[in-house]
C-alpha cells in the first residue's frame, strides 16, 4: 500500500479538481468532441471567463488538452477514460437513488 501512496495522492488531487459541478459539466460537453471556450461556456451555461478559468485548472492537472487553430483554441479530454469514469459515478448515483426510492415505497 505504501508504494501506491504517490498514485493515491495524484488520484485524490484529480478527484478534487473534478469535484466542481461546472467542471463536471465541461467534462460532459467535451466527452463528445473538442470545442472552443465559447461553445463550452454556452453549453454549460457559464460565462466565457469562468469557463476559461475552469479549463486552465483542468489543463494544469492533465484532464484536458488544447490546440490553437488561428484565433480559436479548442479543448478536448486528455483521455476518454475520464468521461467514462464520471459516467460510471453518475450511474452509481442513479442506482443508489433508485434503491433508496424502492426502500421508501416498500416501507
Summarised one tens digit per residue, pLDDT across range 35-93 is: 999 999 999 999 999 999 999 999 999 999 999 999 999 999 999 999 999 899 999 99
Residue 99: its H or E element: helix 80-106
What's the pLDDT score for residue 32? 80
| Domains of the chain by residue range | 2-106
Per-residue model confidence (pLDDT) at position 28? 93
| Residue 100, C-alpha cell as written in the block | 433508496
Gap between the Cα atoms of 5 and 12, Å rounded: 10
Average pLDDT for 27-36: 93
Cα 40 to chain centroid distance, Å, stands at 12
Cα–Cα distance measured from residue 19 to residue 65, given in angstroms and rounded to the nearest whole number:
19
Q: What is the pLDDT of residue 22?
A: 97
pLDDT band at 106 (very low <50, low <70, confident <90, very high): confident
Q: Note the pTM of the prediction, 2 decimals.
A: 0.85
Collect all residues with Cβ–Cβ distance below 8 Å to 51 and sequence separation of at least 6.
Answer: 26, 37, 40, 41, 44
- Per-residue pLDDT at 2: 75
Measured CA to CA, the distance from residue 6 to residue 26 in angstroms comes to 27
Kindly report the CATH class assigned to 2-106.
mainly alpha
Amino acid at each position: 500500500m505504501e508504494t501506491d501512496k504517490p498514485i493515491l495522492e495524484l488520484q485524490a488531487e484529480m478527484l478534487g479538481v473534478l469535484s466542481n459541478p461546472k467542471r463536471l459539466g465541461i467534462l460532459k460537453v467535451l466527452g463528445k468532441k473538442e470545442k472552443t471556450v465559447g461553445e463550452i461556456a454556452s453549453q454549460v451555461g457559464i460565462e466565457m471567463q469562468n469557463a476559461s478559468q475552469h479549463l486552465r485548472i483542468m489543463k494544469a492537472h492533465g484532464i484536458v488538452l488544447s490546440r490553437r487553430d488561428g484565433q480559436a483554441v479548442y479543448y478536448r479530454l486528455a483521455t476518454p477514460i475520464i468521461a467514462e469514469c464520471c459516467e460510471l459515478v453518475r450511474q452509481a448515483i442513479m442506482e443508489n437513488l433508485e434503491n433508496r426510492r424502492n426502500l421508501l415505497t416498500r416501507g
